[in-house]
Amino acid sequence: MTQNLFEEEPLPYVAPELMAPGAVLLRGFAGAVDAALLEAVAQVIAAAPLRHLVTPGGYTMTVAMSNCGALGWTSSRSGYRYTSTDPLSGQPWPPMPGCFADLALRAAAEAGFNDFRPDACLINRYEPGARLSLHQDRDESDLSAPIVSVSLGLPAVFLFGGTRRTDRPTRYQLVHGDVAVWGGPSRLAYHGVAPLAEGEHPRLGRQRINLTFRCAA
DNA sequence: AAGTATCC
DNA sequence: TAAT
């Protein structure tokens, strides 16, 4: 029997899978708390709407983004930056929901990174066709802390490469409930997401939501 | 610079 | 690789 990527129930978490030194895939790790996460996502994006940011090169990103936590990542013609307020509203980003902080802490520990207390959570919404080309997360001042990335909704192909742009990335299918963690020697690994395939998720419909936790300050 | 065109 |  082949794996059904559109199961109503998330697949159970089993064991960590190594992608690279310091980089771990926790398949199904967030499945047990997915309902709480989705409710919290809805509250955050009601206060800080998803929006398509513009890159310094002047192109509009296909992924729609928002943030919660003390700091939020944004891009504009003038560069990438972390800010304590939402440029759209002038108000502080919504606080980090307790279920977000708790999941991020537990996932990091499972991957071998103890005491992970992120101050920033970037929320990415992919609709079919949306992608994120290969890049590094390097705008954070604390590179000793890992990145924790939670997948919800439609499946995606995650591209995970090395610390040089020319390193050929490995492709991983990420489904609802999967959590990827990378830090230490993989903290500056290039990564991205292939164009999202069409599909319909029982809970989220035609979209994928990704939560990315960082220590930015 | 997390996107794209263009070249090889 | 541009060019920001």
- Assess contact for A196 and A154: CB atoms under 8 A: yes
What DSSP letter does each residue of A31-75 carry, written as one string? GGGHHHHHHHHHHHHHHS--EEEE-TTSPEEEEEEEEESSBEEEE
pLDDT, tens only, A155-200:
999 999 999 998 999 999 999 999 999 999 999 999 999 999 999 9
User: What secondary structure letter does DSSP report for A20?
Assistant: E
The set of residues with CB closer than 7 Å to nucleic strand B is A 55-57, 59, 61-63, 73, 75, 78-80, 122, 131-135, 137-139, 192
Phi, psi of A91 (to 5 degrees): -95, 160
pLDDT value at A5 more than 70? no
The whole-number average pLDDT for the span A61-66 is 98
| pLDDT cut 90: percent of chain A above it | 93
Q: What is the pLDDT of residue A53?
A: 97
Which domains can be identified in chain A, with CATH numbers?
19-214 (2.60.120.590)
Residue of A102, A178, A108, A99 lying closest to A145 (CA atoms): A108
Report the C-alpha dihedral over residues A36, A152, A42, A197, rounded to 10 degrees. Answer: -160
pLDDT value at A40 more than 60? yes
pLDDT, tens only, A44-62:
999 999 999 999 999 999 9
pLDDT value at A11 more than 90? no
Residue of A2, A29, A1, A4 lying closest to A199 (CA atoms): A4
Rounded CA–C1' distance between A138 and B5, in angstroms: 26
pTM for the model stands at 0.95
Rounded CA–C1' distance between A208 and B3, in angstroms: 20
Q: What is the pLDDT of residue A1?
A: 45
Phi, psi of A182 (to 5 degrees): -140, 140
Protein-proximal positions, strand B, CB < 7 A: 1-4
Mean pLDDT of chain A: 95
The whole-number average pLDDT for the span A26-42 is 98
pLDDT value at A132 more than 90? yes
Minimum CA–C1' distance nucleotide for A56:
C4
Sign (positive or negative) of CA dihedral A69, A41, A195, A28: positive
**Residue A117 to residues A39, A108, A176, A198, Cα–Cα distance (Å):** 21, 9, 23, 35
pLDDT, tens only, A87-110:
999 999 999 999 999 999 999 999
| pLDDT cut 70: percent of chain A above it | 96
- Assess contact for A117 and A169: CB atoms under 8 A: no
Rounded CA–C1' distance between A64 and B8, in angstroms: 34
Rounded CA–C1' distance between A77 and C4, in angstroms: 8
- Assess contact for A151 and A123: CB atoms under 8 A: no
Rounded CA–C1' distance between A116 and C3, in angstroms: 36
The whole-number average pLDDT for the span A63-83 is 97
